[in-house]
Structure 1
Amino acid sequence: MAKKKARPADIYLRFLKLVEAIRDTPSLPPLEPLEERILVLVARAGLQQERLSVRDMMAKEELGSPATIHGKLKSMRVKGWIILAETEDMRRKQIELTQAALLHFDRLSKCILKAAKAAH
Structure 2
Amino acid sequence: MTRPADIYLRFLQLAEALRGLPALPGLDPLEERILEFVARAAQTQDRLSVRDMMAQSQLGSPATLHARITSMRDKGWLQLTDTEDARRKQIELTPAALRHFDKLAEAFAKAAKGS
Q: How does the TM-score come out when normalised to structure 1?
A: 0.93
Counterpart in 2 of 1:99?
Answer: 95
Deviations 1:42-94 (A, max 9, x none): 11111111100000000111111100000000000000000000000000000
Counterpart in 1 of 2:42?
Answer: 46
Tell me how far 1:26 sits from its aligned partner: 3.0
Matched, 1:108 2:104: yes
Identity of matched residues, %: 65
* Structure 1 unmatched runs, 5+: none
Secondary structure of the residue aligned to 1:28 is coil
How many residue pairs get aligned? The number is 115
* Structure 2 unmatched runs, 5+: none
Equivalent residues in 2 for 1:1-120, closer than 5 Å = 5-118=1-114
- Paired letter, 1:55: R
In structure 1, what is the Cα distance between the partners aligned to 2:22 and 2:51? 30
Secondary structure of the residue aligned to 2:24 is coil
- Paired letter, 1:33: P
Alpha-carbon RMSD across the aligned residues, in angstroms, is 0.9
Q: How does the TM-score come out when normalised to structure 2?
A: 0.97
Runs ≥4 residues deviating over 2 A: none
- Structure of larger gyration radius: 1
